[in-house]
Amino acid sequence: MSSFAEMIENITPDIYQSLKLAVEIGKWSDGRKLTAEQRELSLQAMIAWELQNLPEDQRTGYMGPQECQSKSTPVENILFKSDAIH
């Protein structure tokens, strides 16, 4: 049997879209429900395929640039909030 990496290399964009839809709705295209193991393996295959074929901002789970809230709020706004408890 092929390794996982070899199987990922053989996934076409159409197969990827089919896996993605199955994971999203929990059913195969013929209506059969995915088992927990099938969902897990399909999601792993999707993510592995995305790493090789899609830019970061199009991959599953991408959340965009993240910044700590305290970095984006000036210090004086934190220290002197009008709604602060006294």
- The answer, yes or no, to whether residue 1 has pLDDT greater than 70, is no
SS3 at position 38: helix
Q: What is the pLDDT of residues 6-33, one digit of tens each?
A: 999 999 999 999 999 999 999 999 999 9
**Residue reference for tokens 């393996």:** 41
Between 77 and 60, name the one with better pLDDT.
60
- Domain locations in the chain? 1-56
Q: How many CA atoms lie within 13 A of 79 on its CB side?
A: 3
Q: CA distances (Å), 78 to each of 45, 66, 72, in order?
A: 44, 20, 11
Q: What is the pLDDT of residues 25-62, one digit of tens each?
A: 999 999 999 999 999 999 999 999 998 888 888 888 77
